[in-house]
Amino acid sequence: MLKIVLLGTGNLAVHLFDALATNKFATVIQVFGRNKEALSYFQDRTDITDSKDNIRDADLYICAVSDDAIKAVSQYPRHKEAIILHCSGAVPLTALPGDCKRGVFYPLQTFSKGRSIDFTKVPICVEAENNEVLEVLLALGKSISETCVAIDSDQRKALHLAAVFANNFTNHLFERAAAICADNKLPFNLLKPLIEETVAKLDTLSPLEAQTGPARRGDQYTQEKHLNLMTDLRDREIYRILSQAIEEKYGNQL
Amino acid sequence: MLKIVLLGTGNLAVHLFDALATNKFATVIQVFGRNKEALSYFQDRTDITDSKDNIRDADLYICAVSDDAIKAVSQYPRHKEAIILHCSGAVPLTALPGDCKRGVFYPLQTFSKGRSIDFTKVPICVEAENNEVLEVLLALGKSISETCVAIDSDQRKALHLAAVFANNFTNHLFERAAAICADNKLPFNLLKPLIEETVAKLDTLSPLEAQTGPARRGDQYTQEKHLNLMTDLRDREIYRILSQAIEEKYGNQL
């Protein structure tokens, strides 16, 4: 049984802990965190500590902390024969201490408080400096998820960027759509089936094939009418840039 | 039984025809279209014609044609006591002939060839010049969908614009994410669970609450790294504008 100490008590730590609860390959022997309230979530189910001096020896340490805390927190474990991992898409492996067996365990998902996630469906992208560590990470990943793949640092950076387009920016467009609805006394729920079908389409069509709309068909008249409807300058700018990008893509540029 | 003639043979006409196939309130007595091949889809199930002179008298005509064909095609029926509808989010009701009972029947969904749509889940937004027509449209809408609401012209324009943000632009971001994956030899499928959760979150959080990512937390360092990763100037522009919009929204602007 692989003994794990989880460093961190945020959303990701909670989701990871829950995913590992019934794991046959690994067990979380301790959770470390500064925030006593957040730490209390784990107290009945494993050992907890808020002191870095009390971090136990383990086979593997997982830094499930925010990007800017990884460097500091990963220094805390003193058991240098162990593997140490962070879970970030954006932080280099070399942010971890050089005298440890370093690796990255990047679950490609958005974790929110209070939303349960089926971890078996979360792709886990792993990275390590040598095959021995990589094998452990692949085994750990496959013990909690159906999809665990080895990627390199450049691929991880690209994947994190792609995730910003696919999740963060997409969500902002939903927010703007919701704002337009609210301004016109329309329930945002009217758009939900459309949004769901936008995503469901990706099962049978590539997004390149699935594109529709005024910019796709080079319909300048409708685009002008839409631009005139918007009073928010930022919305107009987003509309213009994305429409231009779509027109260029499909060769509709005037 | 409301007798309907369907004008048009494209994706929407096919989906509407199928949705009306077992309807107890209305029946499609004829489909008119210029494209004989497209018309053949309907031939075993109702009367068809490719000649405007053979369009039959009906209670209601539905122009399920492209926006720029609505004005011309809606002139074809000669039975002026009938109700005539178009299905566009972007075209004014007044594009229909003034000597008819005019209305709009706007199904808020994206229709693609070969993808079956559960019409009972498609919100239908109706609009008419008088209550008599509106009642017929609401009854027709409710006979095929769980959600049928009366909206006015300004609301329909706004809804169409919101749909461009929620569907067209979102899909383009998926396309850019897929391109970034392809450039880095990563399968786009890795992003699917993230995309699905982005949408599933909207059931419990507003998009305003659901926002995450570097721009949301004002993380300039990660944003700079992302910008440096992109070689496509259009992608960089999209990244900048959307990040700025998110930063402004959450008060993180430097």
Give the whole-angstrom CA distance, residue A193 versus residue B233.
33
Nearest to A85 by CA among A53, A129, A45: A129
pLDDT digits (tens, 9 = 90+) for B150-172: 999 999 999 999 999 999 999 99
Give the whole-angstrom CA distance, residue A90 versus residue A170.
19
Predicted confidence (pLDDT) at residue B189 exceeds the cutoff of 90: yes
Mutate to test the interface with B, among A68, A119, A167 (most CBs of B within 10 A): A167
pLDDT value at residue A254: 46
Q: Burial of A227 by CB count in 10 Å (0-12 exposed, 13-18 middle, 19+ buried)?
A: middle
Q: Which region holds residue A206: left if phi is over 0, alpha if psi is between -120 and 50, else beta?
A: beta
DSSP secondary structure, B153-191, as one string: HHHHHHHHHHHIIIIIIHHHHHHHHHHHHHHTT--GGGG
Q: Say yes or no for a CB contact (<8 Å) between B196 and A199.
A: yes
pLDDT value at residue B128: 97
pLDDT digits (tens, 9 = 90+) for A31-58: 999 999 999 999 999 999 999 999 999 9
CA distance B197 to chain A (A): 7
Among A90, A155, A168, select the one facing B186 at the smallest CB separation. A155
CB < 8 Å to A226, chain B: 160-161, 164
CA distance B47 to chain A (A): 31
* Mean pLDDT computed over every residue of chain B: 95
pLDDT value at residue B186: 98
Residue of A nearest to B89 (CA): A222
pLDDT band at B254 (very low <50, low <70, confident <90, very high): very low
pLDDT digits (tens, 9 = 90+) for B224-249: 999 999 999 999 999 999 999 999 99
B76/A113: higher pLDDT: B76
Q: Say yes or no for a CB contact (<8 Å) between B180 and A173.
A: no
pLDDT digits (tens, 9 = 90+) for B57-72: 999 999 999 999 999 9
Give the whole-angstrom CA distance, residue B50 versus residue A73.
73
pLDDT digits (tens, 9 = 90+) for B36-53: 999 999 999 999 999 999
Reported ipTM: the value is 0.94
Which residues, other chains included, contact B180 with Cβ-Cβ below 8 Å and sequence gap of 6+? Answer: A158, A161, A162, A165, B235
What does the longest C-alpha to C-alpha distance in chain B come to? 67
Predicted confidence (pLDDT) at residue B7 exceeds the cutoff of 90: yes
Predicted confidence (pLDDT) at residue B111 exceeds the cutoff of 90: no
Judge whether A125 is closer than 8 Å to chain B, CB to CB: yes
pLDDT band at A83 (very low <50, low <70, confident <90, very high): very high
pLDDT value at residue B252: 62
Judge whether A184 is closer than 8 Å to chain B, CB to CB: yes
Neighbour tally for A141: CB within 10 Å: 22
Give the whole-angstrom CA distance, residue B161 versus residue A224.
11
pLDDT value at residue A252: 62
CA distance B225 to chain A (A): 9
pLDDT value at residue A115: 85
CB < 8 Å to B241, chain A: 234, 237-238, 241
Average pLDDT over residues A3-22: 95
Average pLDDT over residues A199-228: 94
What does R_g of chain B's alpha carbons equal in angstroms? 22
Domains in chain A and their CATH numbers? 2-150 (3.40.50.720), 155-249 (1.10.1040.20)
Residue of A nearest to B206 (CA): A175
Asked whether the CA dihedral A35, A36, A42, A45 is positive or negative, the reply is positive
Cα-based angle B147, B43, B64 (whole degrees, multiple of 5): 40
